Amino acid sequence: MAQYFSLHPEHPQPRLIRQAAEIMRAGGLVAFPTDSAYALGGITGDSDLLQRIRRIRGVDERHHFTLMCRDLSEIATYARVDNSQYRLLKATTPGPYTFILEGTRELPRRLLHPKRKTIGLRVPEHPVVAALLSELNEPILTSTLLLPGEDLPLTDPEEIRTTLEKQVDLVIEAGFCGPEATSVIDLTSGSPVLVRAGRGDLAPFGLEAN
């Protein structure tokens, strides 16, 4: 049965953050709140993690996973970022955006889109996630907690625990987490392309929701 931690949304307890990080380092899959919606996540080096998330999400190898990073410099370690992309990222991070970028050799091939060699990257603005990232000292591999056939991600941590009690290792509760996922922006083609309209404002990219 999944463990359940209640964390303070502004000042998460260091002891529980350390325990959550230990669960991730041991290969655990964690459901946690972000600045947009709940996510499933774990560390990038665990090869079983991808399959566990794919089974829960009902997605195949063409699904873009997202690396949650501490800051813009960490994004630049794992993705190729030119000057124009860098300016956009600097203006909009941290925030509720996921950016599709070409991955670097720092990433295992299994994490990249099989044809495009791309990956999603984001810098969330949430104290709990920031504390987790700091404790881990590495990115978190994530996917929005959206179940097959559903239009909106799960938002109630108790419901998440009941629904996924045998499929995740830990559920983190930290106050209200809205149902709106990130805006997904593809930056690989020279000008921003809207993949998914979500919580993030599209004006900085010169885009409008369809």
| CATH number, domain 3-205 | 3.90.870.10
Give the span between the Cα atoms of 85 and 44, in whole angstroms: 24
pLDDT, residue 136, reads 97
The domains of the chain are located at 3-205
Question: Region 54-79: what's the mean pLDDT?
Answer: 93
pTM of the model: 0.94
Q: Is the predicted pLDDT of residue 203 greater than 80, yes or no?
A: yes
Within a 10 A sphere around the Cβ of 158, how many other Cβ atoms?
10
Q: Is the predicted pLDDT of residue 46 greater than 80, yes or no?
A: no
Give the span between the Cα atoms of 167 and 68, in whole angstroms: 21
Q: Is the predicted pLDDT of residue 94 greater than 80, yes or no?
A: yes
Give the span between the Cα atoms of 28 and 42, in whole angstroms: 6
Higher pLDDT, residue 106 or 131: 131
Cis peptide before 148 (omega within 30 of 0): no
Question: Region 123-139: what's the mean pLDDT?
Answer: 96
pLDDT tens string 151-186: 889 999 999 999 999 999 999 999 989 899 999 999
Residue 109, CA atoms < 13 Å, CB-side half-sphere:
2
Q: Is the predicted pLDDT of residue 207 greater than 80, yes or no?
A: yes
Q: Which two tokens stand for residue 170?
A: 């830990």
Q: Is the predicted pLDDT of residue 122 greater than 90, yes or no?
A: yes
| Pairing label, strands 66-68, 118-122 | parallel
Please name the amino acid found at residue 23. I
